[in-house]
Amino acid sequence: MHYELLYNDDENVYYEQLQERDLELKQLILSLCEEYEDSIQAKKLIYAQDFAERVFHDRVLCEFISKLLLVIGFDGTEEENEEPKQWIKRKYLQSWAKKAIIARDRGQCAKCGRNLVMELVASYHFDHILPLFQGGTNDLSNFQLLCEGCNLEKSKNIIPVNTSIPKYLQIKKSKN
């Protein structure tokens, strides 16, 4: 019985000390935030822009985001067991958006890898990774560059998405 009382007292003291330390840390964080407010705000903008660029330049991540929209409920359906359907009208891309997609995909067909920029007669298409009729969007992250042949072959299907990150930037997996 004496040990139980000692244990409970030690435990109470321990939790009181944790609460005091937690309060001290919160006060320190608040004071640092106030002191460096301008610098923090500037870094937030830089980070947000950098993050958006990194997301857009990874075609696999773009596909994931497009499919995630379906999972969280942006798929044009009203009932839970209903198949995804088109809920957004097709829009034509502006020239800046086309240039961004060509740059991200490095002028190559996302399926066969054919260089569409170097071939002056090559016809290229801006394809929805996740087709509109299956709940896809007109967001830049849902577009990929395809050659005419691959786009006609793909039609309204979903094809596996290859990474748009150059090999020299990819992290090599260890063989362990």
Query: Which residue matches tokens 């849902």?
Result: 142
Residues 127/145, Cβ–Cβ less than 8 Å: yes
Confidence of residue 174 (pLDDT cuts 50, 70, 90): low
70, HSE (Cβ side, Cα atoms, 13 Å): 19
With 50 as the cut, is the pLDDT of residue 47 above it?
yes
This prediction has a pTM of 0.56
Instruction: Measure Cα distances from 153 to 65, 124, 150 in Å.
Output: 24, 13, 5
pLDDT at 82 over 70: no
Contact between 129 and 161 (Cβ < 8 Å): yes
- Which tokens belong to 77? 């359906």
- Supply the pLDDT for residue 45: 79
**Residue 32: its pLDDT value, please?**
92
Lowest mean pLDDT among 37-46, 49-58, 120-129: 49-58
pLDDT digits (tens, 9 = 90+) for 90-105: 788 899 989 989 988 8
Q: What angle do CA 12, 17, 23 make, to 5 degrees?
A: 130
Please state, rounded to an integer, the average pLDDT across all residues of the chain.
80
Structure confidence at residue 168 (pLDDT) = 64
Contact 59/110 with Cβ under 8 angstroms?
yes
- Name the H helices within the chain: 2-35, 37-56, 59-71, 95-104, 148-154
- So what's the pLDDT on residue 5? 53
The residue-averaged pLDDT of 55-70 equals: 79
pLDDT on residue 86: 59
Domain ranges across the chain: 2-35, 40-169
Task: Indicate whether 40 pLDDT > 60.
Answer: yes
The per-residue pLDDT for 145 is 93
- How confident is the model at residue 176, as a pLDDT? 58
Q: What's the pLDDT at 54?
A: 73
Asked if the model's pLDDT at residue 164 lies above 90, the reply is no
Which of 77 and 89 is assigned the larger pLDDT? Answer: 89
